[in-house]
């Protein structure tokens, strides 16, 4: 049996990201849970922002923002960026976060975040409570501590955080499977096990 409730944004898990905006001198960070990937090629994303947010006008005017992915280490800072306004506090300063120059945009990236997506707004859509900024991801940066010599990302080690209906959750650090593993051939499974074993031994 299911309990039916009134319609609402009850999807979980969601990412909750720290979105930086502005420029290296005058910048701000706000927390956004209404985000996701909407296209692969070109890579596209969106953020939905309430017009009353201080960041709203900044993003609307500049047409740029950076998505900084949240980790367990950053979760408290992420929450703070979602309850304090840039109208009242300098969130970078208050949280001791460092600005890193982006490659394509004037917007600073958060150095402490291991994944930064530089985004250029291509369309703005008023939805109701929120305005959606649809954007192209024009550059991606990953902390090299989490990239191995083959260019593979260690997402487990980054310790990402999930947002489930108002609460922040730790995510598992070990993968449960991989894209297509439900139909892989035994030969592939054997090779994968061998590779994982070799990788573990290398780390020791
Ligand atoms: C976990 C979390 C998720 C949030 N998601 C959104 C969101 O998707 N869109 C939005 O407009 N505000 C969202 N907020 C609220 C803003 O981050 C918050 O109002 C913030 O203080 C705005 O900062 P600013 O006034 O400096 O722009 C969220 C807050 C939290 C804590």
Whether the bond between 42 and the residue before it is cis, its omega within 30 degrees of 0, is yes
pLDDT of residue 203: 66
* Angle at CA of residue 163, ends 38 and 87, nearest 5°: 85
pLDDT of residue 197: 85
Q: What are the structural domains, with CATH classification, of the chain? A: 14-167 (2.30.110.10), 178-203 (no CATH)
Does the C-beta of 133 come closer than 6 Å to ligand 1?
A: no
CB 135 within 8 A of CB 125: no
Element at 47 (helix H, strand E): strand 44-49
Residue 86 Cα: closest atom of ligand 1: 26
User: What's phi and psi for 125, nearest 5 deg?
Assistant: -135, 125
- Per residue, the 3-state secondary structure of 100-115, as one string, reads ECCCCCCCCEECCCCE
Number of Cβ within a 10 Å radius of residue 89: 14
Does the C-beta of 131 come closer than 6 Å to ligand 1?
A: no
pLDDT of residue 173: 86
Distance 179 CA to ligand 1 centre (A): 32
Q: What residue ranges of the chain have pLDDT lower than 50?
A: none
Nearest-Å Rg of the Cα atoms of the chain is 19
pLDDT of residue 204: 66
User: Which residue minimizes the CA distance to atom 13 of ligand 1?
Assistant: 32
DSSP string across 142-192: E-GGGB-TTS-B-HHHH-BEEEETTEEEEPPSS-S--TTGGG--HHHHHHH
Alpha-carbon span 168 to 174, nearest angstrom = 18
**Taking all residues of the chain, what is their mean pLDDT, rounded to a whole number?**
95
Alpha-carbon span 150 to 204, nearest angstrom = 18
Distance 133 CA to ligand 1 centre (A): 14
Q: Choose one of 69, 77, 82, 167 to mutate for the ligand 1 pocket test, by most ligand atoms within 8 angstroms of C-beta.
A: 82
Give the single-character DSSP code of 30: E
Q: Considering the entire predicted model, what is its pTM?
A: 0.95
Q: What digits encode the pLDDT tens for the residues 43-80?
A: 999 999 999 999 999 999 999 999 999 999 999 999 99
CB 122 within 8 A of CB 59: no
Residue 82 Cα: closest atom of ligand 1: 17
Does the C-beta of 119 come closer than 6 Å to ligand 1?
A: no
* Angle at CA of residue 155, ends 154 and 156, nearest 5°: 90
User: Which residue minimizes the CA distance to atom 10 of ligand 1?
Assistant: 49
């Amino acid at each position: 049996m299911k309990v039916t409730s009134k319609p609402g944004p009850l999807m979980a898990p969601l990412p909750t990201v720290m979105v930086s905006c502005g420029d290296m001198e005058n910048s701000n960070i706000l927390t956004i849970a209404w985000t996701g990937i909407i296209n692969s090629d070109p890579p596209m994303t969106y953020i939905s922002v309430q017009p009353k947010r201080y960041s709203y006008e900044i993003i609307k005017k500049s047409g740029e923002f950076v998505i900084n992915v949240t980790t367990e280490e950053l979760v408290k800072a992420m929450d703070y960026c979602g309850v304090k306004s840039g109208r009242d506090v300098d969130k970078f300063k208050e949280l001791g976060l460092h600005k890193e120059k982006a490659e394509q945009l004037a917007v600073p990236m958060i150095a402490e975040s291991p994944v930064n997506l530089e985004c250029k707004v291509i369309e703005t859509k008023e939805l109701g409570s929120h305005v959606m900024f649809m954007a192209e991801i024009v550059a991606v940066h990953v902390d090299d501590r989490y990239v191995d010599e083959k260019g593979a990302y260690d997402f487990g080690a980054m310790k990402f955080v999930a947002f489930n209906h108002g609460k922040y959750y730790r995510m598992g650090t070990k993968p449960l499977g991989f894209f297509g593993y439900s139909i892989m051939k035994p030969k592939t499974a054997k090779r994968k096990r061998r590779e994982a074993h070799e990788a573990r031994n290398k780390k020791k």
